[in-house]
C-alpha cells in the first residue's frame, strides 16, 4: 500500500515537472473551440476499464478521426488506473487486515484499562 502511494506521488511529481500544463489540459482543449465557426467533432475520455491496450486503441481510433479537441474526465494516468485495478483485491485485504488490527488494538487498550481499574479497586479494598 505504501509502495503504491509512493509510486502514485512520484508519477504525479514527474508529470507536473515535465508537463506543467497537463493539469489544465481540459481548459486548453476547450479554448480550441473559441471562435471556431462551423461543425466540429470532439472526444471525451472516461475510464478505459483499466487497460493500457484499450487506451492505446482509443488513441489510434481518435488519431484516425478529424476531431477539434478532446476532454479527459477519467483518471489522471492510465498507469495509475491500471495499478488501482490490478491490485484492488490486495489493497482491500490489506485494508481489512488493518481495520481488524485497529479493532483488536482498541479492544486490547480497553481490556488493559479495565484491568488497571480492577487492580486499583482491589488495592483500595
For the chain, the domains span 1-81, 87-125
Helices and strands: H and E segment counts in the chain: 5, 2
**Which tens digit of pLDDT belongs to each residue from 71-125?**
766 655 555 555 555 556 566 666 677 777 788 888 888 888 888 888 888 887 7
**Which tens digit of pLDDT belongs to each residue from 13-58?**
776 676 655 556 667 667 767 777 778 777 777 766 666 677 778 7
Outline where DSSP puts E strands in 1-125.
Answer: 42-45, 69-72
Please report how many Cα atoms fall inside a 13 Å half-sphere around the Cα of residue 100, on the Cβ side.
5
Q: What is the dihedral of CA 105, 108, 110, 116, to 10 degrees?
A: -140
Phi-psi category of residue 49: left, alpha or beta, with phi > 0 → left and psi -120 to 50 → alpha: left
pTM of the model: 0.34
Amino acid at each position: 500500500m505504501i509502495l503504491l502511494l509512493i509510486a502514485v506521488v512520484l508519477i504525479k511529481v514527474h508529470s507536473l515537472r515535465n508537463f506543467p500544463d497537463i493539469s489544465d489540459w481540459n481548459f486548453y482543449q476547450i479554448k480550441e473551440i473559441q471562435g471556431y465557426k462551423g461543425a466540429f467533432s470532439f472526444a471525451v475520455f472516461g475510464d478505459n476499464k483499466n487497460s493500457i491496450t484499450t487506451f492505446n486503441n482509443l488513441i489510434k481510433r481518435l488519431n484516425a478521426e478529424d476531431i477539434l479537441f478532446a476532454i479527459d474526465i477519467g483518471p489522471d494516468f492510465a498507469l495509475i488506473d491500471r495499478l488501482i485495478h490490478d491490485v484492488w483485491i490486495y489493497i482491500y485485504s490489506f485494508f481489512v487486515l488493518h481495520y481488524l488490527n485497529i479493532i483488536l488494538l482498541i479492544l486490547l487498550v480497553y481490556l488493559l484499562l479495565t484491568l488497571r481499574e480492577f487492580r486499583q479497586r482491589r488495592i483500595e479494598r
